[in-house]
Structure 1
Amino acid sequence: MKLPRSGAGWTVAVFGVLALAMGAVGLLWPEALLRTLGFEVPERRAAGDHTGTFLMASSMASFNMGVYYLLATATEWRSFYRFTVVFRLVTFTVFSIAVLADIAPGGFFGVAAWEGLGAVATAVGLRWDARRADAPGVGRGGDDAAGAAAGGAGTPSATDAVH
């Protein structure tokens, strides 16, 4: 797999690796993941308790999301990077509200903070990359899939014009 070619790409790659790893932990050792998030792990689950099923589904989604993020990094899909900033901020908000409303334990705020900080880091990376690309004599080094299809790897796409 290619290394990221931009600051924003690095932030997305880090999140992708961690999402992949946490998904794998949840699939292979769900109790460890629950403890990490601050959830109680009883010796026995009551009849009708589908925590394990939900955790398996969430962990598989996290694993898959990690793959998607790494694929976006490998292709330097900048439109995806921008999309993640918005939706990671939404995730931060929803998860924070869950903690504040006592729906989730306090330790779950770490997940919210990770999402919020990741969104900010990617936004800063996108801005830094745009400034570097605008500097005289410095090329972008990659663009989104639409730009690659339209004109090649070094040609900025219409979506890259919107910073």
Structure 2
Amino acid sequence: MRLPRSVAGWTIAVFGILALVMGAVGLLWPEAQLRMLGFEVPAQRAPGDYTGTFLMASSMAAFNMGVYYLLATVTEWRAFYRFTVYFRLLTFTVFTIAVLAGIAPDRFFGVAAWEGLGAVATAVGLRVDARWAAAGGDGADAADRSAPAGAGTGPDTGH
């Protein structure tokens, strides 16, 4: 796997690795995942309590999302980077509201903060990369500017 070639790429790679690892933890050791998030882990679950099923599904989604983020990093898919900023800010907002409304435990705000800080870090990284490219650097944005119209909207396939 190639290392990220931009500041924004590094922010996406860090998030991708964390999502992959946390997804794996949720699949392999769900009790630890629940405790980390501040949820109770009863000795026995009541009939009809599908917490384990939901955790398995969300952990698998996190694992897959980690793979998607790492793929975007390897291909330096800048449009994906920009897209994540908006949706991670939305996630921050929804998770924060869940904590404030008492739907989620206070410790869950850490997840919201991670999303919000990650979105800001990627946005800052995109700006730094753009300024570096404008100043004549070899940043990934330089390739975006010189590409034909419509290019740069998907992964670089190497062709």
Q: TM-score, normalised to structure 1's length?
A: 0.88
Q: Give the fraction of aligned pairs with identical amino acids, expressed as a percent.
A: 74
* Partner in structure 2 of residue 75 of structure 1: 75
Unaligned ranges ≥5, structure 2: 153-159
Q: CA deviation at 1:139?
A: 2.3
Aligned CA RMSD, in angstroms, stands at 2.0
Write the distance in 2 (CA, Å) between the matches of 1:160 and 1:22.
Answer: 33
| Residue of structure 2 in register with 1:150 after alignment | none
Kindly indicate whether residue 149 of structure 2 is the aligned counterpart of residue 139 of structure 1.
no
Q: Deviations over 1:21-79 (max 9, x none)?
A: 00000000000000000000000000000000000000000000000000000000000
Listed as ranges, the matches of 1:58-97 within 5 Å are: 58-97=58-97
Q: Which amino acid aligns with 2:106?
A: G
How many residue pairs get aligned? The number is: 152
Task: List alignment gaps of at least 5 residues for structure 1.
Answer: 148-153
Larger RCO: Structure 1 or Structure 2 (Cα < 8 Å, ≥ 6 residues apart)?
2
Tell me the residue number matched to 1:111. 111
Give the 4+ runs in structure 1 shifted more than 2 A: 139-144, 154-161
Question: Would you say the 8 A contact 2:89–2:119 is kept in 1?
Answer: yes
Letter aligned with residue 33 of structure 1 = Q
- Given that 1:23 and 1:60 are in contact with CA atoms closer than 8 Å, whether structure 2 keeps it comes out as yes
Q: Summarize the Cα distance change of 1:78–1:141 in structure 2 as closer, same or farther, 3 Å threshold.
A: closer
Distance in structure 2 (CA, Å) of the matches to 1:75 and 1:57 = 27
- Partner Cα distance (2:127, 2:60) in 1: 32
- Return the TM-score normalized by structure 2: 0.90
